[in-house]
Every structure is written in structure tokens, then in C-alpha cells.
Amino acid sequence: APDFTLPSTKGSISLGELLKTKSVLLAFYTEDHTLECQGELTLLKEEYSIFEYLEAEVLGIGVDTLESHRALLKRLGSLPYPLVSVKGLTLCATYGVLDKTGKRYRRAVYIINRWGNIALIIPEFEPSNQDQFMYILQALGLNVLDESL
């Protein structure tokens, strides 16, 4: 997976450094002020203990400024994971998550395993889609059997 080091609401974040100890869920989202994106970030907040159990870190990645991300954190009542601020669309192009307007990110999820390999791509993430969430958990190593749900 392409490495990056970027500013976040919890200081500078390096994908390569995180991957030394855990898998990483990259949650790309359109912008801080859309309800759908806030829903995506809230879902990941509500399920964060599962990600911790699976030894994974979540990174919310958007093109908004750190100031905008911090305002969003206040509205959402904080998040247990950082929001990464990206200037420009280079990372977006690298990961192929540019939306149809060509000006911002799509809601997309990447799972990067500890070896730096992309284990899962959900190019159009829908927070209400339970199947997509199960794919995320499986890519992180949770053995999910349909019969047990």
C-alpha cells in the first residue's frame, strides 16, 4: 500500500509506522459537513472496540482542514481515532478514491494488513450496508459465520 505521513487531529500520522504494530482501516470520506460522512465516522466510532480487539487502527481521511476536523470532533462528541487532513488530491489519486466531480473523495474503505498489503477495498462505502461491514471485519481477521449472526 502507498505510504504517507500527514497531519491529523492527533499529530502527525505515518501509515508505515502504524503498520509496524497493527492493521489499518483507511476511511476516506467526502467532507466534514455531510450527514452521510458523519454517519460513516460515527459507525466507526461505535464499533471502535472491535477494531481495537482485532489490533487495527482507524484513520478518517478527508480533504478538509485540521480546523474543520476539530470542529467536526466537537459536533460528534470526539472520536477514538484521528482524522487526517490532506491538502490537494494526490493521496486521493494514489488510492483511486476521487469522486465524479474530481474535487473531493468518495466514501471508500481500504484495509491495509500488517505486511502493508491491501486486504480489502470497498470503493463505495455505505455505512448502513451490513454486508460491507462484515467484509471489513473479515479482512481484519474476524471469523464471521452467517449462522452465528
User: Which among 1, 15, 25, 37 is annotated as catalytic?
Assistant: 37
- Looking at residue 17, what is its pLDDT? 96
pLDDT range class, residue 88, cuts 50, 70, 90: confident
Concerning whether 92 is annotated as a catalytic residue, the answer is no
Q: How far apart are CA 81 and CA 60, in angstroms?
A: 8
Per-residue pLDDT tens over the stretch 90-115? 888 899 998 888 877 889 999 999 99
**Helix intervals (H) in the chain:** 15-18, 35-46, 48-53, 66-76, 90-95, 130-139
Q: How far apart are CA 82 and CA 12, in angstroms?
A: 10
